[in-house]
Amino acid sequence: MSPNTNEITVTLRQIAKMIDHSLLHPTMTDADILQGLAIAKKYGVATACVKPYAISMAKQELQGTNVLVCPVIGFPHGNSSTAVKVFEADVATAVGGNEIDMVINIGKALGGDWNYVTDEIRQVNNVVVKRGAILKVIFENDYLNEEHIVRLCKICSDIGVAFVKTSTGYGFVKQANGMYSYKGATIPHLKIMVEESGKGVQVKAAGGAFQQHDAVSPEAVEFSALRSETWTQSKTNDANNIIRRHVTERPKDFQLQQGNIKSKPSAAETELISLLPGLGPATLLVDNYFDRIHWFILVFHQDDFRKKFQDLYHYIHFSSGPDAPSRGIGFIAVLLAVFATSLHHIGATESKLKSHNIDPQELKDRILAVLKLRFLDIVSRGSLEVVQFCVLLASYYLYHGEPGMAWPLSGSGLRVAQALNLHRKMTTGDPSDQALNQQIQDRKRAWWAVYEIDTFCSMLYGFPLGFSDSDCNVKALDPYDEYSGSTKESRQTRGPSLLFYKCSMSRLSAIVKSALVGLYGTRHDDGKRTNNPKGLFDKVAALNGRLQEWHRSLAPKLRFDGHDPLSEVQVAHDRERTGREFEDYLFRLQALSLKLAYENAKILIHRPLLSFKMASSTSTDTTTSKTDPFRLAMQECREAALQISKVASTPYLLEASETYAISQAPM
């Protein structure tokens, strides 16, 4: 604890060990639960709260980790008889439950039948402790008043339960107007529970603690790299400029002061939320994005994005109304940028959207118009999600003919990325710190996406480069990123994964950037080139050598083969592909994208030599062609142009036409 009692310093790992990861929604399938358990393992949370039938599944999936299994009984309303709750608790602990969450009989508490409530808690606690587990008693505070909470704390303290918890997440209170309200964990209730519980009883904020504006949660504080406090921290003494403390460990970023906590959504957040379509069409757009666009940008992890997407729509469904707490504008802006990009490449999904009474063009135009108007509200947040938002929109405008929009967006994303130190290396620290390792991969993805968009803005339209490579020491992307669901099989076989594309494109971007600086920078005028052509020859040769080495290092699946047979039937039915077939389809499109980028980079590198116009167009001497740098440059540029033309004549381009792979064609 800081000397200032209003400040608290925590790490992501410490936060994770305070969390019971809830996998209790009634609609969750086994696949959903398995996905949730994977998240629990990744972040190293305290427990995974599961439905009783899923205990064995959770025990198996969490084997070898320090994440405990926490089944729930009498959930979510506490209406089962005492005998049933005791039986449930006995079975749940016998088959592997380490902690038991039990909901009290709320009606009995409200009716003042404290003997019943006490006897029930005692019986359940006895059977749980006998099995070597612990009991956590859920009050469901939304239904209770202060006197009820105080009495329950005393009962639990006298019995000696391990924890008291605020809520289930399902305690919706019906209002006079027919709407439902829900608060979950609040500071006033938590203060009461801490003050009234015995020394051996711990208190857990639960059931909405990470959404409620006045919850004791670091996520309730809106972090921004643009806050002045971020830049008043003492400088690191590391000679290599390695970021020793990741963003979420800076003391100033977690000030739990009421003035820093937003109780209600801002006007900008409200307006952005109003643009979101219903869950059905929204899911169609998200699925379309990950089928056609994600694998060519890779600015975030798919599993994390989908989880945030589901959480946001759950919040919208259950917490709408004038008193709803703020969710923060960052992810909403990212989601809208995803929608806009997806709508541009909607393909056959258009008819499905129209069945929901949605006009794709009208929705896209409306989203882009509001994002433009609210741009400053979004960018001023200064978060990782702001970087992702800028990359998505900058790439959209860059590859669809609006460079005047792309470059300012790219520049804004770059500046926020630099403020977040995304361009600097982070130490991995404890290898078991899954939360930190995940954060490192998230940051690297965002940085290399910024790097790529800044480079291609300069390559395609001549805009100035935004930064120097000498100021960056962030590591390259990991083609076997363990936090990407797409690499599970390739990590085992060490075969190529779909992430190889982004790794290859990032390395190509670095070569292109070197060419832009070395051949087209402001210090290289035509007069100097004329007086010292050998210096130019050497630079072109060195850059071309790097380019050829890059091309030789490509995985076979990423080498474009225009002669590989591809029937029109295959092209027409690309949307029906699943599993391995769909992965091969993506590899083909990624290979096409890299092919176009490679040929354009070849032209970029050799083009300065064409300005001398010293090659003889009539010479047929092959020996001269190999030694004459001017003629060699002309041949390289001509061959590259022909290769691009050949790509355009293959059926692969038709395959790419409905995906983001086509974005490379204008290069």
Residues in the chain: 667
For the chain, the helix, strand and coil percentages under 3-state DSSP, each to the nearest 5: 60, 5, 35
How many angstroms from the chain centroid is the CA of residue 179?
Answer: 32
Residues 6+ apart with CB under 8 A from 445: 298, 299, 300, 301, 477, 502
204, 513, 557, 602: which one is catalytic? 204
Strands 20-23 and 47-50: parallel
- H-state helical runs in 111-160: 114-130, 146-159
358 vs 229: CA distance, rounded Å: 44
SS3 call for 463 = coil
Instruction: Quote the CA–CA distance of 262 and 5 in Å, as a whole number.
Output: 20
Joined tokens for residue 430: 């404890």
Q: Is 101 a catalytic residue?
A: yes
Residue corresponding to tokens 């100035």: 464
Instruction: Take residue 101 and report the two structure tokens written for it.
Output: 């969450």
Question: Burial code of 106-120, b = ≥16 C-beta within 10 A, e = fewer?
Answer: bebbeeeeeebbbeb
Q: Among the options 20, 90, 101, 253, which is catalytic?
A: 101
Place of tokens 């971020």: 230
Q: Which one, of 438, 436, 431, lies nearest residue 482 by Cα?
A: 438
SS3 assignment, position 72: strand
Contacts of 233 (CB under 8 A, 6+ apart): 250, 252
**Burial class of residue 478 in the structure, from the number of CB atoms within 10 Å of its CB (0-12 exposed, 13-18 middle, 19+ buried):** middle
* Structure token digits, residue 185: 């964990």
Q: Which amino acid would we find at residue 379?
A: V
Structure-token pair, residue 238: 């590391």
Strand partners of residue 99: 134
Backbone torsion region of residue 462, taken as left when φ is above 0, otherwise alpha when ψ lies between -120 and 50, otherwise beta: left
Residue in this structure with the two tokens 């739990």, named with its chain if needed: 256
* Main-chain dihedrals φ then ψ at residue 603, nearest 5 degrees: -65, -45
Which residue type does 321 have?
G
Separation CA 104–CA 108 (nearest Å): 8
Active site residue 469: no
User: What distance in Å separates the CA atoms of residue 477 and residue 446, rounded to the nearest whole number?
Assistant: 10
Counting DSSP H helices and E strands in the chain, the numbers are 29, 9
How far is residue 54's CA from residue 25's CA, in Å, rounded to a whole number?
13
Q: Which residue has the tokens 């427990």?
A: 47
Beta bridge partners of residue 204, listed in sequence order: 165
Token pair in block for residue 270 = 């409200």
**Known catalytic residue at 165:** yes
CA distances from 72 to 97, 98, 369, 446 (A): 9, 11, 46, 38
Q: Which residue in 41, 59, 165, 602 is the catalytic one?
A: 165
98 CA to centre of own chain: 31
Q: Which helix (H) or strand (E) holds 632?
A: helix 629-648
Q: Which DSSP state fits 352?
A: H
Task: Indicate which residues carry an active-site annotation.
Answer: 101, 165, 204
